[in-house]
Structures are given as C-alpha cells and as structure tokens.
Structure 1
Amino acid sequence: MVQNSLDRTDYRILREIQANGRISMVELSRRVNLTKTPCAERVKRLESSGVIKGYYAALDPVAVAAGHVVMVQVQLSRTTEKELEEFNAAVQHVPEIQSCMMMAGGFDYLLKIRTRDIASYRELLGTAISQLPHVMQTHTYVVMEVVKDEVTLSMSDSRGKRIK
C-alpha cells in the first residue's frame, strides 16, 4: 500500500493505534466514527499491506537493565555491496543494537545501543561491535540524558499536509 491510497480515516486509525496498540476494536471504531466491521476491515487491510508492521509493548529501559545508551559511529574498511550486506546482516544478530542507520558523510553507520551500564557496553564493544564484519574504526558517544526518543511517526498526507 502506498501513502497515496491512505485516506483521512486510515490516518486516524493509525494515529489511534500508535497511541494505544491494545485499543479495542469497539473503542477504535468509536474514535474514528466507523462501525466495528468496516473499522476492523480497514485495520486488517493496513496490516496485510504492511502499513501496520506489528504491535509491541513500550518497556521502561531502566526496569529491564537497558538504561545505558550509546551512539556509535562505525567506519568500515570497504564499502562494496558485499561488505555492506555482510555488515547489515551481522548487526541483526546483536540484540543490544537498537537501531543501525547507514549514513552519508564521514562515517558509514550510526548505531544506537542499549546496555545495562558502561562496563557491559565495554564488553559488548570488544566481543560484538568490533567483531562485526569489515569494521575498521568506531567512535562511541555516551548519552547523558535521553530528552526525546519517540517510536511513533508523525504523519502527512500525499500533499505533505500534517495529519493531526
């Protein structure tokens, strides 16, 4: 499903589900002014088309021993398609890497990593991060305070108008 095929009701459904993934279909229907069956059909269509990729619980990182955050710049020794694919595949197997983004500029990747503390990060750096395929150099930046860390998306229609 492409963005152009989403209508205002779809966006309202998505906004409500982002705010509360456990919302009942009855309550969702009420909030978006649809009856239950058409609302459920729209949700199923959004799921099957891949617009809704899944549901999850937002956990308190400190409560689950993952309150320490670092950002790591990674420079690879080579950036041919093969090396990039090997690196991309390998980061999928390191659960502490919360996000991995390929960058344009002075380094190749930016990793967001969550661990229990600096000692556990140091161990991870030596045993996993530096062992990822083709890693030539890393630079670690310790996050002192997380000011904003959203997982929800701001949505705009096909004309770029922000949907509230």
Structure 2
Amino acid sequence: MDQIDKQILFHLQGQARISMTELGKSVNLSQPAVTERVKRMEEKGIIEEYRTIVSAEKTGKHASAYILFRTRDCDAFLDFVRSSPHVIECHRISGEHNYLLKVLTESTRNLEEFGNHLDKFGTYTILIVMSSPIEHKPLITLDEE
C-alpha cells in the first residue's frame, strides 16, 4: 500500500459515497486509475465494506452503554446477544470479564430491563455513556508514515 492508496482510504473514510471521478481529482489520478486501486484494495480485504452511520438519537435510541460481562456459559450468552436488537457490538476480551458489549436502547429503563435479561447468563457491570467527544475517528490519516 503506497501513499496514494492511503490518500484514497483517507477520502473514502470521510465520504464512502464519493464518486470515483471526484476521488480521482482528490488524489490526482484518472477515474479509471482510482477505480482500479479501490477495486484492488477491496479484493485484498483492505476495504472490507462501506457503511452508513445512522444517528442513534434520531432513531429513538437515547441510552448508550458498555457492558462488561462475565459468564461460564458462553454459547447461551452469545445466542442471546446475537438475537438482541440492543447489542450493536460484542467483543471477547481478556481479564476479569469475558465480553464487552456496546448496547443502545430507547431509555435507561430499557437498559435496566436488558440488564435483567442478562442476569441468567452471568454477572456484569453497566457503564452508561454520558457523552462521546470522539465518536468516529478515522483509521487512516494523511500525516502517517
């Protein structure tokens, strides 16, 4: 991956729907050349997918939390979190807890109810998000070497 590929990734992170013509102008390449580079990065798995970031609050999800979870029955726990519409991330972690969940619910009352459902799978600590000063930070920056 060269500096031009990094520039392409930088621009795609900020606006994944940018046209290949506009992207080419941003990195001083022709549309066919930039299209070929993007296609190559997709094939290599450097670009995994394109996403839309949806506003949680504007879709009625006003409570955001992280949950540190400890369980001995990982299979049942994972079946539950995979089927839950509230869990948007689940990570296996090391240390005192097995899992870290990111959860979005309509309210803190709904968050409490979700916690009540978790009781049968193990123990947990809920960390309610008060604010998010850095919500989405780009992975690729142009000042990297």
Q: How far is 1:130 from its partner?
A: 4.1
User: Given the alignment of the two structures, is residue 142 of structure 1 paired with residue 99 of structure 2, yes or no?
Assistant: no
TM-score of the superposed pair, with normalisation by structure 2: 0.86
Give the total of aligned pairs.
Answer: 145
Counterpart CA distance in 1 for 2:80 and 2:100 is: 14
Cα separation, partners in 2 of 1:107 and 1:153, compared to 1, 3 Å: same
Are residue 162 (structure 1) and residue 141 (structure 2) matched?
A: no
Aligned pairs for 1:29-108 (under 5 A) are: 29-77=24-72, 83=74, 87-88=77-78, 90-108=80-98
Within 5 A, what are the aligned runs for 1:120-139? 120-127=110-117, 129-130=118-119, 135-139=121-125
Q: Percent identity?
A: 26
Structure 1 runs of 4+ aligned residues shifted over 6 Å read none
Between the aligned partners of 2:106 and 2:49, the Cα distance in structure 1 is 26
TM-score by length of 1: 0.77
- The alpha carbon displacement at 1:97 in A equals 1.4
CA RMSD of aligned residues (A): 2.3
Distance 1:29 1:66, change over 3 A: same
Residue 3 of structure 1 is matched in structure 2 by: none
Q: Name the one with the larger helix percent.
A: 2
Which stretches in structure 1 are left out of the alignment for 5+ residues? 1-5
Distance 2:11 2:105 in 1: 31
**Does the 8 Å contact 2:70/2:97 carry over to 1?**
yes
